[in-house]
Structure 1
Amino acid sequence: MRRRLPVALRMALFYAISYSGLGVLVPFLPVWMAHRGLSAVEISIVLATGQLVRIFGNTGFGRLADYWGERRRVLMGLTVASFLSFLVLVPADGFVAILIGYFIASLFYPAQVALTENLGVLAAYQRGYDYGRVRLWGSVTFIGGTLAVGGIMPLAGPEGVLWLILALLGLTAATAFLLPDVRPDKGASRHGTIRGFLANPVFLLFLGANAFVQSSHAAYYTFSTLHWRAAGLDDLTIGIIWSEGVLAEILLFAVSSRFVHRIRPTQLILIGAAGGIIRWGVIAATTDVWALLAVNWLHAASFAFAHLGAMHFIPRAIPEGMTATAQGLYASLGISVAVAAATFAMGPLYASIGGLIFAVMAGFCLLSAGFGLALDRRWDGRLIDFRA
């Protein structure tokens, strides 16, 4: 069956299945944690710890994929490990138990997401399909997962969140055989070191630009649902607001082939930062439903434009045999460390200033724009030598 299906269709199916679980986990796992008795500060500590732990999983499994010269077997193993690790949370009760369980899950699940992206981009560049139109199916099912929770929460309660995550992770592991066996060219360099990456000023500017725009979502991912609930919005409305943002992301991915090869990846990141400044500024100012619906379309900028910039920077700037390592470092240092630091701060900040934490996130996007401008001037558009 796997060989009879086109590579683009196989990747689209895997994105669709695997990202449905992400659509449940990202907005509603904090609600499950609160139901299990965790305070706002404890939730921020658990989530931030997960962001730090994923540094080792993202970097380690990315390096392993480059060392083996393939992605498929590593990714298949990660889908199984992700499912088993979330099972640890089922009996977890109280702060320490949930912290330990999420620590374990964060070693595998984020690495699964990062390596899926690397395989998807590598396959797009090798096989010639439109990455945006394949990737959008992950966003479609992200919406499906989010809306499903908003609809079933009144029936199953917050406990249903974890069981739905487990069901979708199990389905992901069961269908991982669909993944294409796409490998870097045999002659592609695999001799770059992590030290070489981190000593390169262009790559560091790339990490900085993405770190600030992606970590600007920390308050959104951690406390937007709780903040809007406290303001009187029901779960279905919150699900619609979340889904609207992802719908904007889908529409952008659908048309991205018209511009991603004409606009420099660095400029895509800058568009993302500018959109984030506007988006978080409005969300900080109001909880009015219509205002939130009007501005959350800018998820297409703060996430999707920035994401496209990063995903197209890596294959254009990194030798093919080192892209999994680069993806792992991007996911770890360009996202996880920054998001972890921001998330650690979100608990105390939210407890003291409430929704004004989104104004802080707008400031993060301003910093991202500064790094992005420097990157755009420094990178010459060619492959970088990362040998230390």
Structure 2
Amino acid sequence: MEKRQTNTSRHTKRHTANKRKSQMKSGVISAFYFFYFAGMGIWVIFAPKTLNQLGYDELQIGIIFAITPLVRFLSPFLFIKAGTISKKLFLSSSILTLISTLFFTITIPSFIFFALNILVFSIFWVIILPYADSIALENIPAKKYGKIRLFGSIGFMLIGIVLGEKANNPSLVYILYVLFTLITAVFCFLLAKLDTNIATKQTLLENEKSSFMPQKNWQMWLSMFLLQFSFGAFYNFFTIYETTHGISLTTTTYLWGFGVLCEIAMFLFQGKFIDRINPINVIKFTIAATVVRWSLLYIFPYSLTASFISQSIHAVNFALYTTAVFLYLAKTYPDSKKLAQMFFYGIAYGLGGFLGAIFSGYFYSEKIYLYSAVSALLALIVLLPQKKVLLN
């Protein structure tokens, strides 16, 4: 009897220790996502307006914001060749990202030097999230990953709401961005302690290359590119566009936050239905919704109601679209899932984001969201003939 009680006590202690360890891991990963995406929120929501206040024109802003997507487009090819993202590279990148931000105040008076600064910054910055995602997926049950990932959306939303009109002060925006980059770097070091066997998993990408043939599904890849191209005007000029049309900076930050809130709601509830529907049909629906979204901004530029409706659609064209694409890629490339997802980020958010930023900066005008709507419409037209998942 005593021996049985002793074993039960040991089991209970072991269970309690494992639970605490799991909670610690979840806490570290959640905090990383929160601060990483809060920093991204400062950059995406407030940096365009800040650069505009400092004398940068729309084309220059477009070029600045096109650099990171270009690096993101090139990075999958570089890391496939290298075969691994090591812990040392991850930690070095977090430190060098922070150091790069410290040079912003020195280089920002010169467009050329600031662009070079952003290029260096981007080279290190794009390494951080993929590695962190790998650690998270290694240490957290799949069913809990989505809820922990939501802390990133919460961080992005809260920074937009809290800063508000205070973001009219460029110095404050910069100080907060450096602060959040510093905190993110600290959590990078904590994340690295959770690393188990990421390097081995990354080397598997080499084995996937021979079975990955995107040309057989060129309509989908072209559609991905065109859709993210249409987002160039949103991610780089939405704040400027809204404030130019009489909506205050504070209200514009609420619009950003509202969009993220809708995104969070979709992430929480989409699991109940998305696996029952053909991912191709879901993708087509989300693209059609994107056409409506950009059309609303073009047709009703001064309408706050139209802006809120437009932002509510973000739940569909970001959360639902991304999940549907991942399901599509998993079914289409069952033996090359990692490589397919890397190319999705590269082709869509990388190349599409890069050219979309350049285009929106060069052609920025009252018709910028009309151009976005046309691009999204082309993304839908290209995909219409495809009725089912085409196995690679």
223, 226, 244: which one aligns with 2:237: 223
Q: Which residue of 1 aligns with 2:191?
A: 178
Measured against aligned partners, the alpha-carbon deviations of 1:336-377 in whole angstroms (never above 9, x if no partner) come to 111211221112321xxx232112111222222234445553
- Cα deviation, residue 37, structure 1: 1.9
Q: Does residue 303 of structure 1 match 2:315?
A: no
In the TM superposition, 1:195-234 aligns within 5 A as 197=212, 199-202=213-216, 204-234=218-248
> TM-score, normalised on structure 2?
0.82
In 2 relative to 1, CA 225–128 (structure 1 residues): closer, same or farther, beyond 3 Å? closer
Q: Which residue of 2 aligns with 1:362?
A: 373
Q: Which residue of 1 aligns with 2:60?
A: 42
> Partner of 2:195: helix, strand, or coil?
coil
- Cα deviation, residue 164, structure 1: 1.4
Give the distance between the partners of 2:154 and 2:80, measured in 1 at CA: 26
Q: Which moved more, 1:110-119 or 1:271-280?
A: 110-119
How many percent of aligned residue pairs carry the same amino acid? 21
CA contact (8 A) 2:228 2:356 kept: no
Give the distance between the partners of 2:371 and 2:175, measured in 1 at CA: 34
- Cα deviation, residue 266, structure 1: 3.5
94, 97, 103: which one aligns with 2:113: 97
CA contact (8 A) 1:43 1:347 kept: yes
CA contact (8 A) 2:231 2:372 kept: yes
> Partner of 1:129: helix, strand, or coil?
helix
> Partner of 1:12: helix, strand, or coil?
helix
Give the distance between the partners of 1:14 and 1:289, measured in 2 at CA: 33
In the TM superposition, 1:128-277 aligns within 5 A as 128-154=142-168, 157-176=169-188, 177-178=190-191, 180-181=194-195, 183=197, 189-192=204-207, 197=212, 199-202=213-216, 204-277=218-291
Amino acid at match of 1:275: A
Give the distance between the partners of 2:329 and 2:88, measured in 1 at CA: 22
Give the distance between the partners of 1:58 and 1:162, measured in 2 at CA: 30
List runs of 5+ in structure 2 lacking aligned partners.
Answer: 1-16
CA contact (8 A) 2:72 2:349 kept: no
102, 106, 112: which one aligns with 2:128: 112
Give the distance between the partners of 1:186 and 1:119, measured in 2 at CA: 11
Amino acid at match of 2:126: P
> Partner of 1:4: helix, strand, or coil?
helix
- Cα deviation, residue 225, structure 1: 0.9
Give the distance between the partners of 2:360 and 2:259, measured in 1 at CA: 21
Give the distance between the partners of 1:251 and 1:139, measured in 2 at CA: 11
In 2 relative to 1, CA 60–246 (structure 1 residues): closer, same or farther, beyond 3 Å? same
- The structure whose Rg is larger is 2
Amino acid at match of 2:260: V
Q: Which residue of 1 aligns with 2:51?
A: 33
- Cα deviation, residue 317, structure 1: 4.5
Give the distance between the partners of 1:104 and 1:83, measured in 2 at CA: 11
More helix, by proportion: 2
> Partner of 2:105: helix, strand, or coil?
coil
> Partner of 1:5: helix, strand, or coil?
helix
CA contact (8 A) 1:246 1:299 kept: yes
Amino acid at match of 2:191: L
Superposed CA RMSD: 3.1
Measured against aligned partners, the alpha-carbon deviations of 1:125-174 in whole angstroms (never above 9, x if no partner) come to xx3324432222211110012223314225xx023222211111111110
In the TM superposition, 1:33-72 aligns within 5 A as 33-61=51-79, 64=82, 67-68=83-84
- Cα deviation, residue 224, structure 1: 1.4
Give the distance between the partners of 2:280 and 2:75, measured in 1 at CA: 27
Give the distance between the partners of 1:129 and 1:71, measured in 2 at CA: 27
CA contact (8 A) 2:80 2:205 kept: no
- Cα deviation, residue 324, structure 1: 4.7
CA contact (8 A) 1:214 1:339 kept: yes
Measured against aligned partners, the alpha-carbon deviations of 1:187-214 in whole angstroms (never above 9, x if no partner) come to 99543466864x4334544432322222
Measured against aligned partners, the alpha-carbon deviations of 1:277-313 in whole angstroms (never above 9, x if no partner) come to 1111101111211221122100011222122223344
Give the distance between the partners of 1:345 and 1:207, measured in 2 at CA: 20
Amino acid at match of 1:90: T
> Partner of 1:377: helix, strand, or coil?
coil
CA contact (8 A) 2:73 2:349 kept: no
Amino acid at match of 2:72: R
In 2 relative to 1, CA 182–91 (structure 1 residues): closer, same or farther, beyond 3 Å? same
CA contact (8 A) 2:280 2:389 kept: no
Aligned length: 369
Q: Which residue of 2 aligns with 1:288?
A: 303
Give the distance between the partners of 1:162 and 1:328, measured in 2 at CA: 31
Q: Which residue of 2 aligns with 1:12?
A: 30
Q: Which residue of 1 aligns with 2:10?
A: none
Q: Which residue of 1 aligns with 2:356?
A: 342
> Partner of 1:159: helix, strand, or coil?
helix
- Cα deviation, residue 249, structure 1: 0.3
- Cα deviation, residue 36, structure 1: 2.7
In 2 relative to 1, CA 323–59 (structure 1 residues): closer, same or farther, beyond 3 Å? farther
Give the distance between the partners of 1:162 and 1:337, measured in 2 at CA: 27
Q: Which residue of 1 aligns with 2:95?
A: 80
Measured against aligned partners, the alpha-carbon deviations of 1:261-282 in whole angstroms (never above 9, x if no partner) come to 3334434432321210111110
In 2 relative to 1, CA 178–111 (structure 1 residues): closer, same or farther, beyond 3 Å? closer
> Partner of 1:90: helix, strand, or coil?
helix
